[in-house]
Amino acid sequence: MEILLGEPFRLPRVGEDVFRRLVRDVRLQYDKEKRVFRTTSQTDLYQLATLLSEVLKEPIVYTVKCFLCGSDSGCLSCEYLNICDRLLVSQNCLCKNCLNKEESYTLYCMRAAETSL
């Protein structure tokens, strides 16, 4: 299962005990109206991946949004997929489209300065 960090996602019914653990222990945000989950800066991503992979019987892959344009940065097709730990490294990745722009370095520096304030 692919989870785009910070974006809403749906899960199949997981049972009351697992749901409680997701919300209370893992600190996954749940929107009752829309019936979707969302990771936040408080979410324990290691615990989330462990719990969901056990329950869903499939691996959990985290992906991130492009730091410049906000689209999916394309983690699943990235050349660094096998060595990139999106939980340890900066989540300020760029999609291929933004990376190939001539002004991307300048835009990246400006955006980084904005977010550090």
> 31-80: per-residue pLDDT in tens?
999 999 999 989 999 999 999 999 999 999 888 889 999 888 888 888 88
Specify the residue for token string 């489209």.
97
What's the confidence (pLDDT) of residue 61?
A: 87
- DSSP per-residue codes, 6-72: TS-B------HHHHHIIIIIS--EEETTTTEEE--TTS-HHHHHHHHHHHHSS--EEE-B-TTT-SB
Query: Do residues 67 and 94 make contact, with C-beta atoms less than 8 angstroms apart?
Result: yes
State the pLDDT at residue 81: 81
Which residues, 6 or more positions from 12, have their beta carbon under 8 angstroms from its beta carbon?
56
Residues 8-44: b if buried by 16+ CB within 10 A, e if exposed: eeebeeeeeebeebbeeebbbeeeeeeeebbbeeebe
- Give 71-87 pLDDT, tens digit per residue: 888 888 888 888 887 77
As a whole number, mean pLDDT of residues 80-99 equals 81
Domain ranges for the chain, please list them: 2-62, 64-116
Model's pTM, two decimal places?
0.79
